[in-house]
Amino acid sequence: MNTITLDVSSRQKTELIDITPEVQQRVAGAGFDNGICMVYVPHTTAAVTINESADPAVARDIIMVLNQIVPWKAGYRHMEGNSPAHVKAGLVGESVHVAVNSGDLQLGTWQGIFFCEFDGPRSRRVRLHLING
Amino acid sequence: MNTITLDVSSRQKTELIDITPEVQQRVAGAGFDNGICMVYVPHTTAAVTINESADPAVARDIIMVLNQIVPWKAGYRHMEGNSPAHVKAGLVGESVHVAVNSGDLQLGTWQGIFFCEFDGPRSRRVRLHLING
Amino acid sequence: MNTITLDVSSRQKTELIDITPEVQQRVAGAGFDNGICMVYVPHTTAAVTINESADPAVARDIIMVLNQIVPWKAGYRHMEGNSPAHVKAGLVGESVHVAVNSGDLQLGTWQGIFFCEFDGPRSRRVRLHLING
């Protein structure tokens, strides 16, 4: 199984970053033809999700609701002050899986892959595991 | 990797549709014996989840709580008016993965696979990717 | 595809149990060298997630927020009284996927795998599906 590591730099505390072009480029560059591209985030205050990439307002609306659901202050016991980021990461999830056919990610028309920063800004990593079908 | 596309028609704005029988039928019909059946929704206002299929009240309770968590009106910036559907899709997720053994989905006793419509009614598609183990 | 079943005993109503050491031990014990370890929960009132394992306060904070998001009483229609557990299971998800390299789970530095009990205490099962890469 081929594994590729991407570097992602976030610039804000909470931010969704569209990584679709780089994922597509790396999958094609690896000569991976058919199978599953698993996108994995090895952090506990960040996540990855698939949603609409055409209108950036969708990503902002997702962040807005997540901030409403998971309050910044709520009697958290974890002393580092980033418990909300851990909870958001748990709700969104640490991996997505996209089929690849003839080297192309088989995303839906409006779908893009977003790295979700919940405790930035930071230098982060994303791993692509290319699983033969 | 074999990929099968299902057509799903939703009839309500928000609706969980049990697609387990059709998924099982298509997996068996494809002669897929052992591995993983990945169920993938290529939409951004719909999702897929696994939960109890015996009592339809469970699906209705999931919808009720999702509607409470993600308000219909909340200063959303996405102008198409379906931001709540995008957020719900992000929380629930676009794929589930079920093992297949001797052609049978290895679901737990009470588990079923539900297509989640959050912006219906619409004609939708679900993709099954059959990954050899 | 090799499948391994773990037994997990929960002791509380709602509880996150770090199963990383047992998952690692079973993967290595099976002689599984490279690929994906899919961790699957065949229940509908339990789930599995990846989050910080170093400080147990993180797991407690996740439970606290989930209990705030999904109220214990809310006009649920499912008559068994455990609808909140079904909803939480739907939000968190029934599977996680971790790469394995030379027999080692490729988790991030702070990541651990947690079985999530939402309707305990109970005897539960977790399945590991070892998918060759």
Q: What is the CATH number of the domain that holds B35?
A: 2.60.120.460
pLDDT at residue B24, as a whole number: 98
Chain B, chain C: beta-carbon pairs less than 8 Å apart: 91
**Distance in Å, alpha carbon of B65 to nearest chain A alpha carbon:** 12
The whole-angstrom separation of Cα B128 and Cα B42 is: 11
Say if residue C74's pLDDT is above 90. no
pTM of the predicted protein model: 0.98
Sign, CA torsion A51/A54/A58/A59 = positive
Tell me how crowded residue A57 is: count the other CB atoms within 10 A of its CB.
17
Tokens of B35: 């591995």
- The DSSP secondary-structure symbol of C119 reads S
A84-103 residue pLDDT tens: 999 999 999 999 999 999 99
Structure ipTM? 0.97
* Mutation site for C-interface testing, chosen from A77, A100, A124 by largest number of C Cβ within 10 Å: A77
Q: What is the mean pLDDT of chain C?
A: 96
Chain A closest-CA separation from residue C62 CA (Å): 5
User: Which residues of chain A carry a pLDDT beneath 70?
Assistant: none
Contact C118, C47 (CB under 8 A): yes
* B55:C80 CB<8 A: yes
pLDDT of residue C36: 98
Output the pLDDT for position B19: 98
What tens digit of pLDDT does each residue of C5-50 get?
999 999 999 999 999 999 999 999 999 999 999 999 999 999 999 9
Which residues of A, range 58-87, sit inside 8 Å of B by Cβ? 58, 60-62, 64-65, 68-69
Query: Among B44, B69, B70, whose Cβ lies nearest the Cβ of A108?
Result: B44
Sign for the CA dihedral angle at A100, A102, A108, A113 comes to positive
pLDDT tens per residue across span B37-79: 999 999 999 999 999 999 999 999 999 999 999 999 889 998 8
Total domains in chain A come to 1
- Give the span between the Cα atoms of C57 and C63, in whole angstroms: 10
3-class DSSP state of C128: strand
Write the DSSP string, chain B.
-EEEEEEEE--SSSEEEE-HHHHHHHHHHTT--SEEEEEE---SSEEEEEEE-S-HHHHHHHHHHHHHHS-S-S----TTS-HHHHHHHHHH-SEEEEEEETTEE---TTEEEEEEESS-S-EEEEEEEEEE-
**Contact criterion met (CB < 8 Å) for C69 and A69:** yes
Q: Test C74 with B55 for CB contact under 8 angstroms.
A: no
C98 neighbourhood in chain A, CB within 8 Å: 40
Please give the residue range of the domain that contains residue C121: 2-132
